[in-house]
Structure 1
C-alpha cells in the first residue's frame, strides 16, 4: 500500500493548485465508479487489445515525460484509462515507480477512482471518521487533457495517506461538461463502441481478505454488501453497492485463477465488469478477436461472459447484460 500513487498515473496532468478547503459535512452524498488505471506493456499494445480483440473505441491522450495515456469512455461517464511507457528512462515520480515495481513491468491495474459530485463533503466526512485523507488537489488552469483553461478546474481529487483498501482508491470530481453543440456531439461519439459497451459496472478488488475490504468500504460509507461467488475464477467475497455500480471485494476460493493471481501479483484490480447493449453480439465479437469459443454464465450482474484478457491486460474484462434488461441483476439480486 502506498500514498499518492494515483497522483502520478491518474490523469497525467500533474499540474496541481493549492489544496481546497473542505466544506461543512452533510449526509452521505451519492457516488459512483469513475475509472480504473490500466497499464499495458506499451501504449500501442494495450490500445490494440482493447480495440481489435475487444471492440472498444480507444480515444487519444498524450505522452508527457515518456508515459502515454489513452481512454475508453463509456456512456455512464465511467472509463478505463490506458497507460504505457513510450521511451527508455521515462520521467516517473515515486507513485509511478511503485506501480511499475508492483507490476514488474507487465500489464495490470492497481488503482481505481470513485466519482462524487460532493467531493468536499466526502473529504470532510472521511476525515471526521479518522481516515488519513490527502488534501484536495486540482487540475492546473492549462490542463492539457482538457479543452483549454477552465474555471472551475477540470478535475479535483483526493486520496489517502494510508490507503484503506487492498488496492489504491481515490475520489474525484469534474467540472461541468461543455454544452455547445460541437462538444456535446464529440462527447457522445467518444462514448459509442462497436461492442455495445455502455457502463462501467464493477471493480474487482482481489486480496487475501475480502472481509477486510468490505469493512473498510463500509467505513467509507458503502454499505449493503452481499456475499458472492465467481466460480469462473475460483473467487468469493462481497458485492458492495457504490451508487448504481458496485465493488467486488474478492479473495481466492480454493486453488484456481484468483489464487494464482494473488500469489503472482499480490493485491490487485483483478477485473472490471462492463454492461453491454447485446451480450450475445459482444460475445461473438470477442470470440472472433480471440479466435476461441467463450462460455456464457449467470454472473453477479446476470447474463455474462468473461473475456480471456488476463495474459494481455493483466486483468479480466467481464461483459454482462445492461441493468434493467432481461436476466440482469444488481449486486447479486435479480431486479424486480
Structure 2
C-alpha cells in the first residue's frame, strides 16, 4: 500500500533535478505571488536530541507532531504564524520518498535544512502566475480528508501546497496556504500557548540561502516575482550576496566571502538553508539564556535587522539561528553591501 504523504513528505519529494532559467533580463519580473516566509524544514540527526537542543540550549517550546512511516516531526511555532518544522528518522527502515532520500544523501545522516516554504494566501493564482512565467509548477497537493489534525471530511483541507518539478532555487522551495484553524476555545487556547517561548522568540524575519552563486539565486528569485534585491554582506559568517524582501520578511541569497563559516558549510554540505533570523522580545534575556545553554559568552553585533547575536547551533542543528531585537525598519531597509 502506498503510504499517505504528509505535508513534509510531499514538500520534500518535489523539486529534484536542475533548471537553467536563463538571463534575468529576458523577462520582466511578475508581481510577487507570495506574501511572507512560512517555514523551514530542519532535519535532526536524532529528533529527541535536536528537540533537546531547541528546548534546553535555546529556550524554545517544541510541540509534538506525528510519526508517519518512521519520520517524525515536531514544531517551533511563532506568534506571526511562521515556524520551524523539525524532522527526524525514528526507525531503521523509514518510508522515505525521493525528496527525503535526496536530503538524507546530502546530509549523510546529519542535521540541516535543504527546503523551505513560502506562504501564498492566493495559492491558485500564484500557481497560475508562476506557470505563466514558464516555471515548472506541480499540481496542488492537499492534506487528506481524514488528516488527524484537520477538521474532518467535508471541511477545507488543513493545508494546500505546490512545488516545482525541477528546482527553481539552490534550495528546494514550495508555496503553501492553510485553511482557517479550529475556532473552539480549547483549540484557540492551545494554539496561543504553542506560540509562547521562554526565550521570547516572536516572529520569523529571514531565511539565509547559501549557494556558490548568490547572483544566480537572485535571478531565480526574480523569476519567482521576488525582485528589488539589495546587495548585502554578513561578516559574521563571511558571506555576501543579496537581501530580497518577501512581504514583512526577507530572503538572503548568500555565497562565501572568503574563508569562514559560509565557505565551510558549502564545502561540507553544498547548497542549503544556512540560517534563520528571529525577532525576540528581550534580546539581552535571550542572549543570557543561550549563553547558559552553551556555557560560553556570545558576541553581539549590529546585524541586518539591528542589534543581534548568533547562536552557535551549526554543530548541533546544521543551521544557524540569529536572534535580534525588534526593529522599525522594513525588510532589507538600510542594509549595506
When normalised by structure 1's length, the TM-score is 0.90
- Are residues 1:82 and 2:109 paired? no
* Residues 111-190 of structure 1: pairs in structure 2 closer than 5 A: 111-149=115-153, 151-190=155-194
**CA shift for structure 1 position 245:** 0.3
**1:119-146 CA-partner distances (Å, limit 9, x unpaired):** 0011000000000000111111011343
Q: 1:184 to 1:204 in 2, by over 3 A?
A: same
Q: 1:258 to 1:264 in 2, by over 3 A?
A: same
Do 1:277 and 1:322's aligned partners in 2 also have CA atoms closer than 8 Å? yes
Distance in 2 of aligned mates of 1:266 and 1:150: 43
Q: 1:329 to 1:308 in 2, by over 3 A?
A: farther
Q: 1:47 to 1:150 in 2, by over 3 A?
A: farther
**CA shift for structure 1 position 215:** 1.1
**1:214-247 CA-partner distances (Å, limit 9, x unpaired):** 1111111112211111111100111100000010
**1:277-310 CA-partner distances (Å, limit 9, x unpaired):** 1111100000000000000001111110000000
**1:23-60 CA-partner distances (Å, limit 9, x unpaired):** xxx96555110000000011101100000000000000
**CA shift for structure 1 position 181:** 1.9
Do 2:33 and 2:225's aligned partners in 1 also have CA atoms closer than 8 Å? no
Distance in 1 of aligned mates of 2:205 and 2:154: 30
When normalised by structure 2's length, the TM-score is 0.89
Aligned residues: 314
Equivalent residue, structure 2, for 1:330 = 331
- Are residues 1:11 and 2:8 paired? yes
Unaligned residue ranges in structure 1 (runs of 5+): 1-6, 15-25
- Are residues 1:283 and 2:287 paired? yes
Equivalent residue, structure 1, for 2:251 = 247
Distance in 1 of aligned mates of 2:308 and 2:6: 30
Match of 1:222 among 226, 249, 253: 226
Equivalent residue, structure 1, for 2:37 = 33
Q: 1:183 to 1:150 in 2, by over 3 A?
A: farther
Do 2:66 and 2:74's aligned partners in 1 also have CA atoms closer than 8 Å? yes
Do 2:33 and 2:129's aligned partners in 1 also have CA atoms closer than 8 Å? no
Distance in 2 of aligned mates of 1:143 and 1:9: 9
* Residues 299-318 of structure 1: pairs in structure 2 closer than 5 A: 299-318=303-322
**CA shift for structure 1 position 183:** 1.6
Distance in 1 of aligned mates of 2:295 and 2:211: 31
Unaligned residue ranges in structure 2 (runs of 5+): 12-29
Do 2:9 and 2:99's aligned partners in 1 also have CA atoms closer than 8 Å? no
Do 1:275 and 1:321's aligned partners in 2 also have CA atoms closer than 8 Å? yes
Equivalent residue, structure 2, for 1:21 = none
Query: Please, what is the CA RMSD of the aligned residues?
Result: 1.8
Equivalent residue, structure 2, for 1:23 = none
**CA shift for structure 1 position 93:** 1.4
Distance in 2 of aligned mates of 1:312 and 1:8: 28
- Are residues 1:59 and 2:63 paired? yes
Q: 1:221 to 1:312 in 2, by over 3 A?
A: same
Equivalent residue, structure 2, for 1:268 = 272
